[in-house]
């Protein structure tokens, strides 16, 4: 065993560069148990709630559906399905505003609930070790599970990567201020998370899982400590409070000292990471056959009367969720999806809760000051000091403003995890992350357009090649036919038959003779005319 592995096994905690300590404000929402939410009247299910392609539609307007029924299927594009959150009727399928910083529209299925909340029959699996890894991955995929920590990467896709793995990391750090959804889930459902972790370990084919929790969650830590004796392959790691310790690369560095290379993945350093909520959803999908139709959402901030954590069906409109929590909006009220560091302000409260929605934050203007006007950069360097990805935020911002995409690439724009630490410390109130998000979207767009142009060029060249090939084939066919004809003629002549060439020569001679006769006759007529 190497010294580094010995240190990991001994529970050594490393550190990562940068980071900040914003006020945690978790006590607003973490005091009470996760509460159920009464059924809403309408649910809005965007087809795409994860990274990657959307699934293919399985339903149409007018269909009756039950809770847990698949509304889309994986299909040819390898999308992830979405399921009905309750029973009711499909009343619309079409463009709808989705929960995205851009306020973009996408295809959304609307279900009007019938209030009966009838569920499809589930197919529990008593012993998951008896089915193949591929079948388990299918089960997780069919349940529509994407990473519930924020990025929404399809869980089965992450697990399907085939490389030797040393550790599975279960991320229960939840370092962003205000959010306590994972904290409450860990306190109340530690055993299910452990079951999910065992399943993930089995699929990933590695020997050990490290469950990471930030030190500011003593109850969650105690809940796991009480259960881990029976699970020797699972180890708890308590990490110091610092934002963003829960970032994938940062947590890997904290727990193993390993650094995921720029543009690389955890698997490149022998690791795979899943969020605690994802482990919970995997246990439910595999052991109970339950698809992902609800999740825990923190509703918090001074402008709700009942802050706390709620079991929210996917597709629930944010406006309805807030109404149930005693929403007291003030003028120019901001409603943020996500936390204060990485979240974004919603332009429309009719947008639904989706798979990656972990928090709805409704701050008062005293609690979270509205964004001030951007001032000029004073080159203080504070942003670079706190950047956990060791980037140069002010330089990235200049390059983004100048649309210098090559420069942004050289400065590793895509290593930015959009944690917002740089903007948090910026004395000039520069919304740095906004510039990075915009620049990333533009770079992706350019890459998409380039790919499209490349496909068009390849298609054009392929057509030209096909036409040329067909022309050559045609010429070749003609050549061969002529050769065959010549050969057949030669054979016929050799066997005493008429030579077609002779016939041609005879026909030419006959035509010449006819022409000569006509000319002679014309001449004779002219002569007789002159004599007369
Ligand atoms: S913190 Fe703000 S003002 Fe200071 S260097 Fe960075 S961008 Fe400029
Ligand atoms: S948002 Fe990006 S650039 Fe800013 S601190 Fe975080 S990782 Fe660094």
DSSP letter string, 73-89: E-TTTT-B--B-SSSEE
CA 406 to centroid of ligand 1, rounded, Å: 22
List the structure tokens of 30.
């973490």
Q: Is 419 annotated as a binding residue?
A: yes
Q: How far is the CA of 422 from the centre of ligand 2 (A)?
A: 6
Asked if residue 421 has its Cβ within 6 Å of ligand 2, the reply is yes
Distance 176 CA to ligand 2 centre (A): 14
Atom number in ligand 2 closest to CA 393: 3
Average pLDDT, integer, range 407-412: 94
pLDDT of residue 282: 97
Q: Which of the four pLDDT bands, split at 50, 70 and 90, describes residue 409?
A: very high
Q: Is the pLDDT of residue 379 over 70?
A: yes
Q: What is the mean pLDDT of residues 333-340?
A: 96
Task: Look up the pTM and report it.
Answer: 0.85
pLDDT at 75: 80
Q: Which of 340, 385, 432 to mutate to test the pocket of ligand 2 (most atoms within 8 A of CB)?
A: 432
CA distance 413 to 391: 8
**Binding site membership of 19 for ligand 2 (Cβ less than 6 Å):** no
Read off φ and ψ for residue 84, nearest 5 degrees. Answer: -65, 130
> How remote is the CA of residue 25 from the centroid of ligand 2, in Å?
22
Q: What is the pLDDT of residue 531?
A: 64
Which ligand gives the minimal distance to the CA of 426? 1
Determine which of 105-109, 149-153, 238-242, 423-427 has the lowest per-residue pLDDT on average: 149-153
Of 30-34, 221-225, 345-349, the one with minimum mean pLDDT is 345-349
CA of 203 to the centre of ligand 2 (A): 33
Q: Residue 150: is its pLDDT beyond 80?
A: no
- Residue 375 is predicted with a pLDDT of 95
Supply the pLDDT for residue 164. Answer: 85
Q: Is 426 annotated as a binding residue?
A: yes
**Per-residue pLDDT at 372:** 87
- Average the pLDDT over each of 373-382, 414-423, 522-531 and give the range with the smallest value: 522-531
Q: Which residues contact 15 (CB under 8 A, 6 or more apart)?
A: 253, 254
| 3 has a pLDDT exceeding 70 | yes
Does residue 341 have its Cβ closer than 6 Å to ligand 2? Answer: no
Q: Which residue has the least CA distance to atom 4 on ligand 2?
A: 422
Residue 325 among known ligand-binding residues: no
The confidence band for 102, taking pLDDT boundaries of 50, 70 and 90, is low
Q: What's residue 529's pLDDT?
A: 66
Handedness of CA 423, 426, 430, 432 (dihedral sign): negative
**Beta partners for 296?**
311
% of the chain beyond a pLDDT of 70: 98
Lowest-pLDDT range of 102-106, 149-153, 238-242, 441-445: 102-106
Q: What is the pLDDT of residue 451?
A: 86
Q: Which residue's CA is minimally distant from atom 3 of ligand 2? A: 393
What is the distance between the alpha carbons of residues 180 and 308, in angstroms, rounded to a whole number?
A: 8
Closest approach atom of ligand 1 to CA 380: 4
* Atom 5 in ligand 2: residue holding the nearest Cα: 387
* Torsion (CA) 214, 215, 216, 218 in degrees, nearest 10: 110
415 Cα–ligand 1 center, Å:
19
- The pLDDT-based confidence of 170 (bands split at 50, 70, 90) is very high
Q: If you average pLDDT over residues 409-437, what whole number do you get?
A: 95
Ligand nearest to the CA of 383: 1
User: How remote is the CA of residue 440 from the centroid of ligand 1, in Å?
Assistant: 20
- pLDDT for 505 equals 82
Kindly report, residue by residue over 29-47, the tens digit of the pLDDT: 999 999 999 999 999 999 9
State residue 79's pLDDT score.
84
Please give the distance, rounded to the nearest whole angstrom, from the Cα atom of residue 43 to the centre of ligand 1: 43
Distance (angstroms) between ligand 2 centre and the Cα of 273 equals 21
How large is the C-alpha radius of gyration of the chain? 35
**Beta strand spans in 348-462 (E):** 359-361
Residue 306: the pLDDT is 97
Asked if the bond preceding 244 is cis, omega within 30° of 0, the reply is: yes
With a cut of 80, say whether residue 501 has pLDDT above it.
no
> Is residue 458 over pLDDT 80?
yes
217-221, 318-322, 482-486: which range is least confident on average?
482-486
The pLDDT value given to residue 105: 75
Reduce the secondary structure of 168-198 to three states and give it as a string.
Answer: EEEEECCCCCCCCHHHHHHHHCHHHHHHHHH
383 has pLDDT over 90: yes
Q: What is the pLDDT of residues 74-89, one digit of tens each?
A: 887 788 999 999 999 9
Which pLDDT belongs to residue 500? 65
What is the Cα–Cα distance from 47 to 87, expressed in whole angstroms?
Answer: 18
CA 357 to chain centre: 14
pLDDT score for 162: 74
416 C-beta closer than 6 A to ligand 2: yes
Residue with tokens 């120019």, as numbered in its chain: 332
Rounded to 5°, angle at Cα 121 from 118 and 127: 140
Q: Where are the alpha helices (DSSP H) in 271-377?
A: 276-283, 318-324
- What confidence score (pLDDT) does residue 50 get? 84
> How far is 120 from 143, CA to CA, in rounded Å?
13
The CA–CA distances, whole Å, from 42 to 68, 292, 483 equal 16, 18, 76
Consult the annotation and say whether 377 binds a ligand.
yes
pLDDT given at position 260 = 95
Q: Which of 340, 418, 439 to mutate to test the pocket of ligand 2 (most atoms within 8 A of CB)?
A: 418
Q: What is the pLDDT of residues 252-307, one digit of tens each?
A: 999 999 999 998 999 999 999 999 999 999 999 999 999 999 999 999 999 999 99
Is 379 a pocket residue for ligand 1 (Cβ < 6 Å)?
A: yes
DSSP 51: S
Query: Cα–chain-centroid distance for residue 434?
Result: 20
Site to probe by mutation for ligand 2, drawn from 253, 343, 393 as the one with most ligand atoms within 8 Å of Cβ, is 393
Instruction: Report, as an integer, the average pLDDT of 194-210.
Output: 95
Torsion over CA: 434, 437, 443, 448 (sign): negative
Binding site membership of 430 for ligand 2 (Cβ less than 6 Å): no
Tokens of residue 163, six digits: 């490389």
Q: Is the CB of 422 under 6 A from ligand 2?
A: yes
């Amino acid at each position: 065993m190497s010294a580094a592995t010995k240190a990991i096994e001994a529970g050594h905690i490393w550190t990562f560069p940068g980071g900040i300590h914003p006020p945690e404000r978790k006590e607003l929402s973490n005091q009470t148990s996760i509460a159920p939410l009464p059924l809403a009247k309408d649910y809005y299910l965007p087809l795409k709630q994860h990274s990657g392609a959307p699934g293919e539609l399985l339903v149409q307007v007018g269909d009756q559906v039950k809770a847990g029924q698949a509304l889309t299927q994986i299909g040819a594009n390898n999308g992830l399905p979405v399921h009905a959150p309750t029973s009711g009727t499909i009343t619309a399928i079409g463009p709808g505003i989705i929960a995205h910083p851009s306020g973009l529209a996408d295809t959304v299925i609307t279900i009007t609930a019938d209030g009966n909340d009838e569920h499809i029959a589930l197919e529990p699996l008593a012993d998951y070790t008896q089915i193949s890894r591929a079948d388990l991955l299918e089960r997780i995929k069919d349940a529509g599970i994407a990473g519930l920590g924020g990025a929404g990467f399809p869980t089965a896709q992450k697990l399907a990567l085939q490389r030797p793995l040393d550790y599975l990391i279960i991320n229960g750090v939840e370092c962003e201020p205000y959010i306590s959804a994972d904290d409450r889930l860990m306190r109340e459902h530690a055993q299910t998370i452990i079951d999910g972790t065992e399943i993930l370990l089995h699929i990933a084919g590695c020997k050990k899982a490290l469950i990471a929790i930030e030190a500011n969650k003593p109850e969650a830590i105690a809940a796991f400590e009480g259960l881990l004796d029976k699970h020797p392959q699972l180890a708890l790691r308590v990490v110091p409070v610092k934002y963003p310790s829960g970032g994938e690369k940062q947590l890997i560095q904290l727990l193993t000292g390993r650094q995921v290379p720029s543009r690389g993945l955890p698997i490149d350093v022998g690791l795979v990471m899943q969020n605690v909520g994802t482990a919970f959803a995997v246990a439910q999908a595999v052991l109970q056959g339950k698809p992902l139709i609800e999740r825990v959402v923190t509703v918090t901030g001074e402008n709700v009367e009942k802050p706390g954590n709620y079991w929210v069906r996917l597709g629930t409109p944010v406006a309805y969720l807030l109404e149930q929590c005693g929403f007291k909006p003030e003028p120019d009220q901001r409603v943020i999806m996500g936390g204060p560091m990485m979240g974004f302000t919603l332009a429309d409260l009719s947008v639904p809760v989706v798979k990656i929605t972990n928090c709805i934050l409704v701050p008062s203007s005293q609690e979270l000051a509205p964004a001030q006007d951007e001032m000029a950069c004073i080159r203080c360097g504070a942003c670079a000091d706190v950047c956990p990805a060791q980037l140069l935020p002010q330089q990235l911002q200049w390059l983004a403003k100048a649309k210098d995409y090559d420069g942004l690439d050289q400065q590793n724009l895509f290593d930015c995890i959009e944690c917002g630490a740089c903007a948090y410390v910026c004395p000039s109130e520069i919304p740095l992350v906004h510039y990075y998000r915009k620049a990333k979207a533009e770079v992706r767009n350019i890459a998409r357009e380039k790919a499209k142009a490349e496909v068009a060029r390849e298609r054009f060249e392929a057509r030209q090649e096909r036409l040329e090939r067909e022309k050559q084939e045609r010429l070749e066919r003609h050549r061969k036919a002529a050769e065959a004809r010549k050969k057949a003629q030669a054979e016929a002549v050799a066997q005493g038959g008429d030579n077609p060439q002779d016939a041609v020569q005879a026909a030419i001679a006959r035509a010449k003779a006819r022409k000569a006769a006509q000319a002679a006759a014309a001449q004779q007529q002219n002569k007789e005319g002159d004599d007369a």
